[in-house]
Amino acid sequence: MADNIVIIKDLIKKYSDFVAVDGINLEIQAGELFGLLGPNGAGKTTTISIISCLLKPASGDVFVGGYSVKKYPTKAKVLMGVVPQDIALYPTLTALENLNFWGRMYGLSGALLKERVEEALELAGLIERTKERVQNYSGGMKRRLNIAIGILHHPKVLLMDEPTVGIDPQSRNHILETVKRLNRAGTAIIYTSHYMEEVEILCDKVGIIDHGKIIAMGTADELKKLIGDEHAIIVQAENVDDDVIDALNQLRYVDCVNYHEDEIEVLSKHGGRVLSKVVSVLNQADVHINSIDIKEPNLEAVFLHLTGKSLRD
């Protein structure tokens, strides 16, 4: 209990008849990197908003460093850094001006503020463009600055809500490296995402959330054991239509087919056996195949197993 930096107890949040968070209980240890995985609308952002004192829960409570967010929000806020899903920066101010302003909002000043701003700029890889207005930055640079602001005051726990949405692979890698670095330095992190690869690579522990409920929790390996041996066949292809997807779905041993941006994902417990049938269906339909890959069981499959639907639905 003493090692838990965040404790979530029976948390409920409702919007009229819609229950966004439905009785969540969680404990996150100091220095832990916890992943909250779920599709859009599962309740990830609402949970983060309640922890960060932006929304009030209908019932239940969250304790950050022992402080209830309902009773002592200011004390809890000092211990938390938040990287919101939306880029929240002043576009006509420079990176340096943004960092100085937000640092002051966390009570930093003088030499300490200067030191922390430099450290954050270095971490975000923006040291050479500090005096440029943020409106001229690329999406990836803005995301990195968005993160840098969240860590200025060296929080004990960092809440990161989908920090890699809509950016180029290079910036994504930079951000994932940053998350690992911060965690190694001792910061506990709650990382939400609907990209299961990120959560799988980064997180010590993963909670799978759907319809406002945590439906499974454990390490990635523990979770994957829930489904046994589900493999994913990933096909990069062109000229794919709904008939092709239907045909794939009807193949024996195929559990599920997802199609998104020229990428077909076929989930099956018998990867090797299904592969040749998949190729044959695609060839008959005159689909142009660019690449094929078989992946080991992953969290996507776990999610599918638990909910009957894809993370991207």
Partner 1 sequence: MKKFVRIGLKDILITLRDAPALAILLGMPMIIILILGSALGSLGSDSEMARIDVAIVNLDEGDIGKEIVEGITEGEELEELFDTQVLDDAEEAREGLERGNLAALLVIPEDFSDKINDSKPVKMNVFIDPGKEISASIFQNVVQSIAIRIASASVAVQTAKDVFVESKMVADERDFSRHMDKVVKEITADDALSAVDVLESNIEKERKITELDFYGTGMTIMFLLFGSMFGAFSLVKEREEKTLSRLLITPTSKTSIIGGKMLGIFFVGVVQFLVLFLFTVILGVHWGENLFGVFLLALGVLLAMTGLSVLFSSVAKNVRSVGAIAPLVVIVMALAGGSLFPVSTMPEWLQPIRYLTINGWALDGLSSLMKGAGTNSILPNFGALMAMFFAFFLLGVWRLGYEE
Footprint on this chain of partner 1 (rule: CB under 8 A): 52-54, 74, 77-78, 80, 82, 84, 86-93, 97, 101-102, 104-107, 149
Shortest Å, Cβ 139 to partner 1:
15
**Which CB atom, from 153 or from 305, has the smaller least distance to partner 1?**
153
**Which CB atom, from 109 or from 290, has the smaller least distance to partner 1?**
109
Shortest Å, Cβ 78 to partner 1:
5
Shortest Å, Cβ 97 to partner 1:
7
**Which CB atom, from 101 or from 253, has the smaller least distance to partner 1?**
101
Shortest Å, Cβ 133 to partner 1:
8
**Which CB atom, from 161 or from 210, has the smaller least distance to partner 1?**
161
Query: What's the longest Cα–Cα distance across the chain?
Result: 69
Q: Whole-angstrom Cα distance, residue 3 to residue 28?
A: 8
**Which CB atom, from 80 or from 274, has the smaller least distance to partner 1?**
80
* Closest to 88 (Cα-Cα) out of 64, 57, 116, 52: 52
Shortest Å, Cβ 22 to partner 1:
23
Q: Whole-angstrom Cα distance, residue 258 to residue 159?
A: 30
In the block, residue with structure tokens 């000092």: 78
Shortest Å, Cβ 54 to partner 1:
6
**Which CB atom, from 142 or from 277, has the smaller least distance to partner 1?**
142
**Which CB atom, from 19 or from 78, has the smaller least distance to partner 1?**
78
Q: Whole-angstrom Cα distance, residue 236 to residue 222?
A: 29
Shortest Å, Cβ 137 to partner 1:
14
Structure tokens at 4: 């838990």
**Which CB atom, from 105 or from 185, has the smaller least distance to partner 1?**
105
How would you classify the pairing of strands 188-193 and 33-37? parallel
Shortest Å, Cβ 105 to partner 1:
4
